[in-house]
Amino acid sequence: MESLAMEHSSVGVSAQPCQSADLAVIIPTFNESSNIAELVRRIRASLQGIRFELIFVDDDSPDRTWQTVRELARTDPRIRCIRRVGRRGLSSAVIEGMLATGAPFVGVMDADLQHDETLLSAMFGTLREGDVDLVIGSRYVESGGIGEWDSKRAAMSRFATSLSRFVIKQPIGDPMSGFFMLRREVIDQVVQRLSGQGYKILLDIVASAESPLRVRELPYTFRARFSGESKLDANVLWQYVMMLFDKRFGHIIPARFLMFALVGLSGVAVHLGMLSALMAASMRFAVAQGTATVVAMTTNFLLNNVLTYRDKRLHGWRFVKGLVSFYLVCGLGAVANVGVASSLYEQHYAWVLAGVAGILVGVIWNYLASAVFTWKKA
Ligand code: GDD
Ligand code: MN
């Protein structure tokens, strides 16, 4: 053994491997290049004495945030950048960052300096003491605050927070916080169940834990953005609603299928409304029924495109191709529906049963086939 060590040192290999980080801070970014230098400067100052690394996960920002990060990384090996191409999403970015580190403690914070970086070392200290799994930087506990938000955004945040009670069982003041730190075992325990959609990664983690986590909330005041602008928009809000569905009912029925079926139900109403209007205008039944069918398929397509598949929304030429493929899919679905229903009816099942079975086959076919042919991955 000794001679081996001797040999190594004689060729200049250090006997002591360099020590890796105890804490990784994951920072999702999209168009944040003007915030990076200041953020890194402040984190370095607040994490002095702690072995940490910073993992930026950038979704190929047009402002080249990834390049800004890489330039910094050349001067400081504790900084890393994952550049994801053709992908978007805060939650999924955070998950990938978390999986890219071996550190035993993992924190998450935004890049825009709205989160108070001076809290990081207290969060880390709390976790290290060993009797909590998750520390949350919280706006909604005593001495925390939302800073300069206008009353509309404040009300929206409170409303979204109260909706979260549908999916988490333990009392948490600020389950929507994007600022938190946890033990890596928690991540390993939940990662396969995460929905990974939208913004609410913390809520996703808490809702996916099998047993209640030991949580501590530390107050801080949400600050104004240092530079750049927020990416929170209608898409993000909708993803939140879909995630709540997914967490609540996802084990029984996929949230997307539920949405698709609800849209289908609205199509029935559209169809009947249209049919009665055309009949009142004394159109021939067959023509009226055909027109109502096309109109209902079209409204179904439009609604599915903005709601069910909001994250894969089709535009321009792909929208036209999608509509045509949706007509074809639904046309085949109707054939399957009528086929199954008639065959059951001939086998002397009650007409209601036969009818419902036909509808179910049609809806399931439409859902699966349109997922593959209409809203396929770009
Ligand atoms: N990689 C990646 N991909 N990052 C993203 C994306 C994305 O699609 N969208 C946003 N980000 C990054 C932003 O660049 C920023 O660093 C961070 O995620 C938060 O985005 P903001 O657009 O600044 O969100 P916000 O300020 O409206 O909301 C934040 O604060 C709320 C209150 O704590 C988020 O952290 C929310 O999750 C949180 O509820
Ligand atoms: Mn922000």
The predicted structure's pLDDT at residue 128: 95
Q: Are 340 and 361 in contact (CB under 8 A)?
A: yes
The DSSP output letter for 34 is: H
Report pLDDT for 155: 86
pTM for the predicted model, two decimal places: 0.79
**Does the C-beta of 177 come closer than 6 Å to ligand 1?**
yes
10-residue mean pLDDT series, the chain (378 residues): 46 64 97 97 96 98 97 96 94 97 97 96 96 95 82 84 86 93 96 88 93 94 87 82 85 88 94 94 91 95 94 92 96 92 91 90 94 82
Ligand found nearest the CA of 110: 1
DSSP helix/strand/coil, 259: helix
Q: Which helix (H) or strand (E) element contains residue 124?
A: helix 120-129
Whole-number Å distance, alpha carbon 106 to ligand 1 midpoint, is: 17
Q: What residues sit around ligand 2, an ion, with C-beta below 5 angstroms? A: 110, 112, 114
| Pocket flag, ligand 1, residue 88 (CB < 6 Å) | yes
Residue 14: what pLDDT? 55
Q: What is the C-alpha end-to-end distance of the chain, expressed in Å?
A: 57
The atom number, within ligand 1, closest to the CA of 30 reads: 14
Q: Which ligand is nearest to the CA of 30?
A: 1
pLDDT recorded at residue 13: 55
Q: Residue 89 CA: which ligand 1 atom is closest?
A: 8
Angle value at C-alpha 253, between 252 and 259, nearest 5 degrees: 150
- Identify the nearest ligand to the CA of 85 by its number: 1
pLDDT of the residue at 312: 87
Q: Can you give the pLDDT at residue 152?
A: 84
| 116 within ligand 1 shell (Cβ under 6 A) | no
